Each structure stands twice: as C-alpha cells, then as structure tokens.
Amino acid sequence: MKLIEKYAIRGEQCDVMKALTLLTKAYISQCGISMGLRTVIYCAAEPWQERLAWLDLPLSEMARKKPFVHLMPHITSEYDPDEYDDYDIAPLQDAELLNIGSHMIRAKEFDQTTLEVMSWGILKSFEEEKLLSQEIEVTAPDGTLLQGMLKKQNCSGTMVLMIKPYSDIGLSKYELVRDPRDLLIAGYNDYNRLLALEDKIRTLYPLYLSRLKECKTRWERHCAFDEVYGSLFDDMILYPYSLIKNLFGLDIRR
C-alpha cells in the first residue's frame, strides 16, 4: 500500500488526457498477455475517466455517459475495437488489486509515469462512494419552484430525490449529470407528462393484465410491462411502477 501511495503522489499531478493515453496503451499491451494486469489498468483508468467527465474537454461528454472501453478508441488510434474489444477483464478484490499493482511497480512493468498514474487511479478506486445529501433547488420553465436532494453523482449514475412540488420522487440517469438541477427539471416534466398519460395507461391496463397471466418469473413480468407500456416511458428518468399504482390505483407487478 505504501509503495502505491508513494507513486500516486506524483501521478495525481499528471494531465488527465496524458494519463488516460498512457493507461490505454498499457491496457493494449496486456491484451492476450495478462488478464490480471489488464484488469488493474482498467480499474485504475476509471477514476481518471471521472476526472475527465468533470472537465470541458473534447471527450468529457462521452466520459460522462460511456464506459471506459468505449473511450479507448477515441483516446488513441492504437486501440482497434475489432482487435481489442474481445478481451475482457476479471473481478478483483481490493487486496488483489493492491497486490498486483504493487507487483507491477516492483517489476517495472511500465514506464515511471504510467505506474504513477496507475497508482493514483488504484487509490481513488478504493474510495467509498459518497452518500450525498445535498439540497438543490431550481425554478422550472413554468415558474414552479422545484426542490430536491442530490443522493449520488458520478459516472455510474446521478440520483436526485424530488421533495417539492411532488414528494419522494426518485429521479436517475446512468451518467454523470454535472448540474443535478437539470435532472430535477426533467423529472418534474416527466411527472407532469405521466399525469397527462392517465387515459392511455388505463386503456392499456387490461392488455397488461392479460400478458401478466402468462408470466411465471419476475423477468417475464418486467418484459410484460415493457411490452405494453414501454413506448410511453422510454425516455423518462423516473420510475413508473410505483407511481402508476399510487397515482392511478393500478396494480403493477415487477
């Protein structure tokens, strides 16, 4: 651990795009060679990706929405998706990540700078996901004051709990939304759109019940909902299941 911490101090100062380029090339070098080393490099790159996501660089928007494997072809032309997308990574425990990372440093598997940025990424990957509870508010285009709590904000997703004007409405997007107030406005608009869809939702309910009778598993029930109602909710960021039940009194089974 101390060895990785020592290298990480210098790695933190590296330019984000340089760090991601070095790690992408290191990843490429281990395709067909070592899944363990490849996995450590990938894990170390993800915190650098999040750092990129908070900036306003050419790849920042993609970094907010896509996994690192989708970024690599854009970071360096050396990454050929047809050749390298077939290589996978493996789940590693924290202790394994540390042990392999330390071994890579001692064995000088890569140049000094690559090992430094890798070390910073490894340490950052150990940080527990912050449980946020930050109050946010914004005025909707129609003049309504919206209030909520920011619960999560990173590249794996952004979550907001709307408090006003509608209470306890969960809103989420599987990407880093830098201004969570945008999520609050989108959720408010979706809620109002859901209310306007009541007649359609009720009209389709008998068809939903008919499909539900054929379902034996939870997955089949989920598919039945998507088959009947999916087109109504495809681009919404709120969860429709409980809302349909609470607002319209219709039993939706998940």
The reply to whether 96 falls in a domain is yes
Is 112 in the same domain as 132?
no
Q: What is the pTM of this model?
A: 0.84
**Last residue of one domain, picked from the residues 125, 150, 177:** 125
The predicted-structure confidence for 101-159, as pLDDT tens digits, reads as follows 999 999 999 999 999 999 999 999 887 666 688 999 999 999 999 999 999 999 989 99
Is 120 in the same domain as 9?
yes
Is 165 in the same domain as 230?
no
Is 108 in the same domain as 160?
no
Is 113 in the same domain as 32?
yes
pLDDT (0 to 100) of residue 40:
97
The reply to whether 117 falls in a domain is yes
The reply to whether 191 falls in a domain is no
- Confidence band, pLDDT 50/70/90 cuts, at residue 254: low
Q: Can you give the residue range of the structural domain that contains 248?
A: 197-254
The 3-state secondary structure of 194-241 reads HHHCHHHHHHHHHHHHHHHHCCCCHHHHHHHHHHHHHHHHCCCCECHH
Check whether 171 has a pLDDT greater than 80: yes
The reply to whether 92 falls in a domain is yes
Cα 133 → chain centroid: 19
The reply to whether 65 falls in a domain is yes
Is 6 in the same domain as 51?
yes
The reply to whether 63 falls in a domain is yes
Which amino acid is located at 28 in the chain?
A: I
The reply to whether 40 falls in a domain is yes
Is 69 in the same domain as 7?
yes
Number of domains in the chain: 3
The reply to whether 39 falls in a domain is yes
**Last residue of one domain, picked from the residues 78, 107, 125:** 125
pLDDT (0 to 100) of residue 129:
64
Exposed (0-12), middle (13-18) or buried (19+): which is 89, by Cβ within 10 Å? middle
Is 176 in the same domain as 217?
no
Structure tokens at 169: 């409405």
**Last residue of one domain, picked from the residues 77, 106, 125:** 125
Query: Rounded distance, CA 2 to CA 11, Å?
Result: 14
Is 11 in the same domain as 115?
yes
- Confidence band, pLDDT 50/70/90 cuts, at residue 170: very high
The predicted-structure confidence for 44-78, as pLDDT tens digits, reads as follows 999 999 999 999 999 999 999 999 999 999 999 99
Question: What distance, in Å, lies between the first and last C-alpha atoms of the chain?
Answer: 44
Residue closest to 37 by CA, chosen among 120, 115, 113: 115
Check whether 98 has a pLDDT greater than 80: yes
Neighbours of 5 (CB within 10 A): 12
Check whether 82 has a pLDDT greater than 80: yes
Average pLDDT over the chain reads: 93
